Amino acid sequence: MAITIGLDFGEANTGLYVRGQGIVLREPTVAAVDTQGNVLAVGSEALLIHGRSPGTVTLRSPMRAGEIVDFNLTAEYLDRILEIAVPRQRKRAVLAVKCGLGGSFASTLKEALDDCRIGTEAVVDTPAAAFHGLDEQPVESLRGGILICDIGAGGIEVSYLREGEILRTELFSGGGGESDRILCAYLRRRYGLAVNFRTARALKHKVSLTEDGSFEALGLDGSTGLPRRLTLKSEELLSCLHAQTDAAAECITTVLANLPTQGLEKSVCDGILLIGGGAALPGLGEYLSDLLERPVNVVPDPGDCVLRGLGRMIEGGK
């Protein structure tokens, strides 16, 4: 008998929920590839191999800007990561897919799983899965409608739901991946310091968006190639995060201004909730609350909200 797995395949990280076991894995969506194009490892192991052999091994991601750009690498990555989570067993997958990516993304993901000899049991819209994963507020208190803002590495999706039904959703460019690229470019241009995207991602979590402070950045000197450490002010970091912070505020404002009507009256938004790995920036909820002049809350463990929802759907809950 096949075991059912919930799959949240993201540009930065991939998460897996296994029926009866819970969330068993969250790994970077990256593979270590040698000079002949052979995949040596995936996830965290790929990062370790690249660190030991930076000259002969490159890191590749099968996704870019929210789209699958390398089908073969996607299939190889999924095959390995799923075997790590559930070795030597038949598997069927329940997929979470952003509404704005359309059917082509889901079809490509299903084909990649077919190559791994894994069938697809269902495809679930990400906002619906996230709604099932909410913990803080009882469903009964959300009947007026809520806005779920999913800040991912490849984009920002804002959805309006009422009683779990998706009534409006918009996918915008930007997100965590774009802010990583901007931060890397800023450090290289301003200080001649070279850092990779994963280092940039870690730097973003060193200071709060709502507090003044400083942080250290470690990278390679652009002139000598030697390790170099800098102390930077938090304002410099904030100026690089607009694709993740202010862009989220603009996306939320756009959707709030175009809520569907309820009879002759405009729909009501009872709350704004942030999910996704990009929502984990320290102080982001308070920062957006100030910008929007209305409460914005980050759900607990925002990067796992979709997986929690998939798990409850798989187990037959909520």
pLDDT value at residue 46: 93
97-128 residues labelled b (16+ CB within 10 A) or e (exposed): bbbbbeeebbebbbebbeebebebbebbbbbb
Q: Which helix (H) or strand (E) holds 232?
A: strand 227-233
pLDDT value at residue 286: 95
pLDDT value at residue 212: 85
The pTM of the full predicted model, rounded to 2 decimals, is 0.91
CA distances, 21 to each of 28, 90, 94 (Å) = 21, 16, 15
Contacts of 134 by beta carbon, 8 Å cutoff, 6+ apart:
273, 299, 305, 309
Homologous superfamily, domain 3-128+306-315: ATPase, nucleotide binding domain (3.30.420.40)
pLDDT value at residue 83: 92
CA distances, 80 to each of 39, 73, 158, 168, 225 (Å) = 10, 11, 32, 36, 34
Unique residue bearing structure tokens 């082509």:
104
Q: Would you say 179 and 236 are in contact if contact means Cβ atoms under 8 Å apart?
A: no
d(CA 67, CA 135): 29
> What's the start-to-end Cα distance of the chain, in Å?
25
pLDDT value at residue 17: 97
d(CA 26, CA 68): 19
pLDDT, mean of each 10-residue run, the chain (318 residues):
92 94 94 92 91 81 90 96 91 93 88 93 94 70 81 93 89 89 94 91 87 88 91 88 91 91 74 94 94 94 95 82
Domain range summary for the chain, segments of one domain joined by + = 3-128+306-315, 138-173+244-299, 176-238
- Is domain 138-173+244-299 given the CATH code 3.40.50.2300 in the classification? no
pLDDT value at residue 143: 60
Contacts of 314 by beta carbon, 8 Å cutoff, 6+ apart:
4, 6, 17, 19, 94
pLDDT value at residue 264: 55
By DSSP bridging, strand 22-28 and strand 39-42 are: unpaired
pLDDT value at residue 138: 46
Q: What is the CATH number of domain 176-238?
A: 3.90.640.10
3-128+306-315 with 176-238: one CATH topology? no
